[in-house]
Structure 1
Amino acid sequence: MAPIGILFFIFTVICVGAKEVLFTVQCKTESVGQYGQQSLLECWVQAANGATDAGIRAISWTKEGLEGPLVFFNKGKMNKTPGYQLAEPPLNKKHTNVSLLIANTTMANAGAYKCMVITNSGDAVGDINLKVTAKYSKPTIRSDPKEITVKRDGVLTCESHGGYPKGEIRWIVEHDTEWTKGSKMEEKLDKRGLFHLSSKLPLLRGSIFSKYTCAVYSASGSREAEAIFVVEDIPSLGTQGREKEFDAASKIIAPVVVIGSLIVGLLVALLFLRRRRQSGHLRSDPGEEEGLDAIDNSFQM
């Protein structure tokens, strides 16, 4: 098997002697690949000037910054660099799909690519750019000291790794209030070319919340993952407030209910006795009348 460099030289010579171009190579302007997944660089041969048969003779895929072709197809024979292949190798003259498939995408695969095609009617070149992204891992939170209390200062550290491009860590406290301004984030590139994010949030005694959420956002602003840290010895402010309000209300309502019941009972008794006296069923009793008059006078005051 001849080296790919020699085959590429032959390919270039063929291009020089090719006929008038009746076909073009159309490619998407940009393709977005996910780190660790397959990536497809889509290109196809399109007829020009009424041509109906492409008759592909040779295909070459190259990447800017690398010598020689990544994939080279000529006269039915395929030469390729490990990890690269044609999505659909040409099997007949009507074949038009010349897309490139990358098996396991890494940051090194990002960049500009060219697809050169020779047909029975001429040659053409298409360009496409590959952009590689990577999702950040679920963040982890550690505290210093290990047990956070309201009586001493502390620090929360949130970390997430394996993402690209550079993202952001944000802090959210109770009632969905963002608390990021008080934090400090650092980012580093690892050997794979991916970002490691780390954010420190200082906690000051007397102003510590019961729950902290560390959220990781991508470069486009979408929320990818989060972690929650709970301070165990701080009761929920909402529950504590409701309990205090209930106790205060109970102390006020109980005596009011008792007094109100007594007043209602006395009013009912007074009304009943007056009706009996007015209807003539109650005999005149000076002592009883004096008692009714005293009760009546007390409510009229």
Structure 2
Amino acid sequence: MASDTLLIFVLMMSSVRLGKSAEALFNLKCQSAVGVIGQTTNISCSIESQTGSIDINTVVLTRFRENKPCFTFQPYENRVTGDSRFKVESLPSLQLHNTSISDEGGYKYYIRTNLGHVNAEFRINVTAVYSPPIITSEPTEIKDGGAADLYCRASGGYPAGTIHWFDQRNTNWTQNAALQITQGHDGLFTLSSKLSFRSIDSTWGPFRCVVLNYRYEEEEESTTHLRREANSDSVSSTQVVMGTVGGIVFLIALVLFVLLLKRRCLEQNSPRNPDGVEEETALYKVVHKKAADEDQNTAV
């Protein structure tokens, strides 16, 4: 710790003497970087020189509003102190591995060379992509002309973004929605949007919930198809019709059953001719007719 403090003190003292001449010879430029949480952030820097080659012997990285360097590197000794997640990609550019929310902010970059020293500043912005949004509704089944609420929730993003609502015709309904933003212990944000209708029409669906990041760029979206509630009047009419048809079928079956039962009863109660009666009757008629014919001939 004492050696690091002494190093910074020596560098600062030497910069007083060589600063003006060094700035006239070369210039350091760094571009601000955008890192994704958990990934590697590349910090691109370059040296513009009016002379030949420049030998870098020390780099010091310090955060704004802090005095103690967060990272130092001495190439000739291959000595690194401070945050080990910082790496030298190719001098003077840097890398930051496993980027976190706490890394967001401004930095002062100091480089000492064989020609003197030079300073530059840059900023690291940190982002995290939101999860695909989940849409729910209350009630679950929508009744045309009734009140309804649509909910959309997306989490795990950074920085805070927003949610927009669109129907099937791409009409923006966001002005009818209320957005709630909460930040967790991990620093990540959760977006919750509620779209309310006093009188909804199921033909407006499907609805899209679109998640926009802090730059107002679309990140994720989900679509919901409204589940329409069955019409109670039509259900009642159907039930009445079905009940009527069922009653008619039952009555027809009952009448047929009664007729069948009556027929069986009549068949069982009607008298039956004994064996040979029909044959005897026919024979009697023939004999009687023959006798009548003979009597008629005799009378003649």
TM-score computed with the length of structure 1 as normaliser = 0.65
Is the partner of 1:178 in helix, strand or coil?
coil
* Distance of 2:116 and 2:61 partners within structure 1: 17
Q: List aligned pairs for 1:1-301, cutoff 5 A.
A: 4-16=4-16, 18=18, 20-21=21-22, 23-48=25-50, 51-74=51-74, 75-76=76-77, 77-88=79-90, 97-150=91-144, 152-205=146-199, 207-208=201-202, 209-233=204-228
Note closer, same or farther for the CA distance 1:143–1:206 as it changes in structure 2 (3 Å cut).
closer
Give ranges in structure 1 of 5+ residues lacking alignment. Answer: 89-96, 236-301
* Distance of 1:159 and 1:3 partners within structure 2: 52
Deviations 1:55-105 (A, max 9, x none): 2221111111334222212342222313212223xxxxxxxx212211122
Deviations 1:153-202 (A, max 9, x none): 33211011233333221111122222222111122233333332111012
Q: Say if 1:27 and 1:126, in contact at 8 Å, map to a contact too.
A: yes
List, as ranges, runs of 4+ consecutive aligned residues in structure 1 with deviation greater than 6 Å: none
* Residue identity matched to 2:142: I
Aligned twin of 2:239: none
Aligned twin of 1:299: none
Is the partner of 1:136 in helix, strand or coil?
coil
Is the partner of 2:216 in helix, strand or coil?
coil
* Distance of 1:113 and 1:84 partners within structure 2: 13
* Residue identity matched to 1:86: V
Q: Which has the higher helix share?
A: 2
Q: Say if 2:166 and 2:173, in contact at 8 Å, map to a contact too.
A: yes
Larger Cα-atom Rg: 2
* Distance of 1:202 and 1:24 partners within structure 2: 61
Is the partner of 2:227 in helix, strand or coil?
coil
Deviations 1:250-286 (A, max 9, x none): xxxxxxxxxxxxxxxxxxxxxxxxxxxxxxxxxxxxx
Deviations 1:123-174 (A, max 9, x none): 1111112222332221111222333333743321101123333322111112
Give ranges in structure 2 of 5+ residues lacking alignment. Answer: 231-300
Note closer, same or farther for the CA distance 1:206–1:105 as it changes in structure 2 (3 Å cut).
closer
TM-score computed with the length of structure 2 as normaliser = 0.66
Instruction: Count residues in correspondence.
Output: 225
* Distance of 1:232 and 1:78 partners within structure 2: 61
Is the partner of 2:102 in helix, strand or coil?
helix
* Residue identity matched to 2:37: Y
